[in-house]
Amino acid sequence: MEFDVVVLGTGPGGEDAAGRLAEADLRVAAVEANLVGGECPYWGCIPSKMMIRAADLLAEGRRIPGIAGGSSVSPDWSQVAGRIRGEATDDWNDEVAAKRLTGKGVQLFRGRGKITAPGEVTVNGQVLRASRGIVVATGSEPVVPPIEGLRDTPYWTNHRAIEAEQAPESLIVLGGGAIGAELAQAFSRFGTAVTVLEGADRLLPPEEPEASELVRKVFEVEGITVRTGARARRVGHDGSAFTVETDDGPAVRAQRLLVSTGRRSDLAALGVGAFGLDESARAIRTDGRMRAAEGLWALGDITGKGAFTHMSMYQANIVVHDILGEPVQEAEYHAVPRVTFTDPEIGSVGLSEAQARQEGLQVRTALTRIADSTRGWIHKAGNEGFVKLVTAEGVLVGATSAGPVGGEVLSMLTLAVHARIPVRRLSEMIYAYPTFHRAVEATLKEL
Ligand SMILES: Cc1cc2nc3c(=O)[nH]c(=O)nc-3n(C[C@H](O)[C@H](O)[C@H](O)COP(=O)(O)OP(=O)(O)OC[C@H]3O[C@@H](n4cnc5c(N)ncnc54)[C@H](O)[C@@H]3O)c2cc1C
Ligand SMILES: NC(=O)c1ccc[n+]([C@@H]2O[C@H](COP(=O)([O-])OP(=O)(O)OC[C@H]3O[C@@H](n4cnc5c(N)ncnc54)[C@H](O)[C@@H]3O)[C@@H](O)[C@H]2O)c1
């Protein structure tokens, strides 16, 4: 089986790279252990955002009193589950995605592939040779912490949570990062009694502390129990409910337990040692063209540059151009945007204040609240949020946009950080009235 390129894993970036390389007349094999499309369309971004859209509608309906009349909403999870099954995942069937890929000329191999030598991948005993190289795009899987008893219980990871046919009566969310925070709020708004146990001293630890505080406050107002600095010691399941014992407080009991404590990639299982790479590393290191070794490229979660679909697609574009010998701007990571789709949304880009200080930059920051903006005041309910800017030497190096449509307001801040637009020039811009993004202008004035 002779190919120019073998792509291992067909998540967003792997699928894109394989398809485009085949369309450029290369002989391409793609190896997929599960579903073509990867985590994002079946158990990640898309179905979770369907849940969140539904949950946000409920929340918005509950905000009607005092502004537009009366309201009474009746949550029905079966409509969410139905949309996820029918519209998003085709009942977790990738036939259409596989056809799309093979229609571009890619030869698809089902199974778990392993690199068995440079330029060689073995899948189900079949050896695929790649004359130009191998692209590793195998993503990540949930970390399951070594907590006593946990592995013997029917805990959920994101897969089972996304596949849920019913919103559970009660749910413990272990890990208050992006997955934990988004799903905690979505289930809670459908009536699930949610307790979040976060090991760090705040939710969403990589974000600005003001963002963590905001999400905590909103969660608590909505009835979610948040315990930070919570270290789970033992987990048990008695056939109907979970009990989580912690070092810091009372045990928690709930019908379901979601483990959302981060992601990992198993480099040893991939056989990257065949290229001389350290298989005990957490991620595959690459250069600016996503090359990890001669004849080996990596992209997506496995590169450790941010577990986001947009990162996987960004890196895939570089891989495609590099393999085709075309000029391409090398990967830059100073303006990586990320949006946690809680309500309020937490959008951020570049460095947090703490990161900027750690880098020894001469940092200046400012923050203004959405509720104090005209649009925030008009909005009245659901108007929590803020814009925080982090500057160094007259240039924006990081920003957070938290609030209603915080992820959309983020776009102009991403552009500013990406293009290193001077703060002075930003403050000379005209900001449409009355928009949420006018909070950026107010924050610039604070600076
Ligand atoms: C609940 C949840 C919500 C998310 N929401 C967002 C969001 O809103 N926005 C966002 O940008 N990101 C989001 N993400 C993250 C996003 O899904 C991932 O960053 C993205 O899917 C990673 O893409 P990838 O190309 O690295 O690989 P993945 O999507 O992880 O796919 C890798 C593929 O490789 C396959 N594979 C693994 N090992 C092998 C092997 N040895 N042989 C063959 N195949 C193999 C797997 O089966 C899988 O199909 C979310 C993730 C989760 C879990
Ligand atoms: N909207 C988005 O873009 C989006 C949404 C979901 C996921 N994602 C991506 O997927 C990645 C993985 O998500 P995640 O939420 O699993 O990971 P995460 O790294 O974002 O958060 C994991 C959280 O679990 C906590 N934790 C770790 N061990 C713990 C323990 N034993 N007990 C209690 N808490 C513990 C960590 O302190 C951390 O806050 C994210 O980092 C993100 O890159 C993105």
End-to-end Cα spacing for the chain = 61
Decide whether any atom of ligand 1 lies within 6 Å of the 80 Cβ: no
Q: pLDDT tens digits, residue range 207-224?
A: 999 999 999 999 999 999
Pairing of strands 126-136, 2-8: parallel
Of the ligands numbered here, which is closest to the C-alpha atom of 143? 2
Question: Is 80's pLDDT higher than 90?
Answer: yes
CATH code given to domain 337-446? 3.30.390.30
Alpha carbons within 13 A on the beta-carbon side of 353: 14
Distances (CA, A) of 117 to 213, 289, 295: 49, 22, 11
**DSSP 8-state class, residue 85:** I
Q: How many helices (H) and strands (E) does the chain have?
A: 15, 22
Decide whether any atom of ligand 2 lies within 6 Å of the 324 Cβ: no
**Which residue has a Cα nearest atom 25 of ligand 2?**
175
Pair 225, 194: CB distance under 8 Å: yes
3-class DSSP assignment, residue 437: coil
Pair 376, 433: CB distance under 8 Å: no
**What is the CA angle 146-262-287, rounded to 5?**
120
Q: pLDDT tens digits, residue range 175-199?
A: 999 999 999 999 999 999 999 999 9
Q: What is the rounded average pLDDT for all residues in the chain?
A: 98
**Ligand 1 atom at minimal distance to the Cα of residue 162:** 1
Decide whether any atom of ligand 1 lies within 6 Å of the 199 Cβ: no
Of the ligands numbered here, which is closest to the C-alpha atom of 146? 2
Of the ligands numbered here, which is closest to the C-alpha atom of 261? 2
Angle between helix axes 12-23 and 95-103 (nearest 10 degrees) is 30
Give the whole-angstrom CA distance, residue 5 versus residue 31.
Answer: 11
150-261 fold: FAD/NAD(P)-binding domain (3.50.50)
Give the CATH H-level superfamily of domain 2-37+94-140+265-323.
FAD/NAD(P)-binding domain (3.50.50.60)
Q: How far is the centre of ligand 2, averaged over its atoms, from the C-alpha of 183 (Å)? A: 11
Decide whether any atom of ligand 1 lies within 6 Å of the 200 Cβ: no
Give the whole-angstrom CA distance, residue 134 versus residue 119.
Answer: 6
Map out the domains of the chain as residue ranges.
Answer: 2-37+94-140+265-323, 150-261, 337-446
Q: How far is the centre of ligand 2, averaged over its atoms, from the C-alpha of 204 (Å)? A: 8
Q: pLDDT tens digits, residue range 374-405?
A: 999 999 999 999 999 999 999 999 999 999 99
Decide whether any atom of ligand 1 lies within 6 Å of the 139 Cβ: yes
Helical (H) or strand (E) element with 136 = strand 126-136
Structure tokens given for 137: 């795009």
Q: pLDDT tens digits, residue range 137-163?
A: 999 999 999 999 999 999 999 999 999
Decide whether any atom of ligand 1 lies within 6 Å of the 109 Cβ: no
State pTM to two decimals.
Answer: 0.98
Mean pLDDT of all residues in 329-346: 98
Q: Please determine whether the domains at 2-37+94-140+265-323 and 150-261 fall in the same fold group of CATH.
A: yes
- Within the chain, what is the greatest distance between any pair of CA atoms? 68
State the sign of the Cα–Cα–Cα–Cα dihedral 313, 50, 187, 55: positive
Residues in contact with 232: Cβ distance below 8 Å, sequence separation at least 6, in sequence order: 145, 147, 150, 174, 197, 199, 244, 245, 246
| Residue-level pLDDT at 225 | 98
Q: How far is the centre of ligand 2, averaged over its atoms, from the C-alpha of 441 (Å)? A: 32
Decide whether any atom of ligand 2 lies within 6 Å of the 339 Cβ: yes
Q: How far is the centre of ligand 2, averaged over its atoms, from the C-alpha of 174 (Å)? A: 9
Percentage above 90 pLDDT, the chain: 99
Structure tokens given for 29: 């094999």
Pairing of strands 296-298, 126-136: parallel
Structure tokens given for 129: 């040779």
| Residue-level pLDDT at 248 | 84
Decide whether any atom of ligand 2 lies within 6 Å of the 145 Cβ: yes
Structure tokens given for 250: 């009372």
Decide whether any atom of ligand 2 lies within 6 Å of the 261 Cβ: yes
* Confidence tier at 297 by pLDDT (50, 70, 90): very high
Q: pLDDT tens digits, residue range 225-281?
A: 999 999 999 999 999 999 999 998 899 999 999 999 999 999 999 999 999 999 999
Give the whole-angstrom CA distance, residue 254 versus residue 249.
Answer: 16
Residues in contact with 15: Cβ distance below 8 Å, sequence separation at least 6, in sequence order: 30, 36, 37, 38, 97, 101
Decide whether any atom of ligand 2 lies within 6 Å of the 135 Cβ: no
DSSP E strands in 145-299: the ranges are 170-174, 193-198, 225-228, 232-237, 242-246, 252-254, 256-259, 263-264, 291-293, 296-298
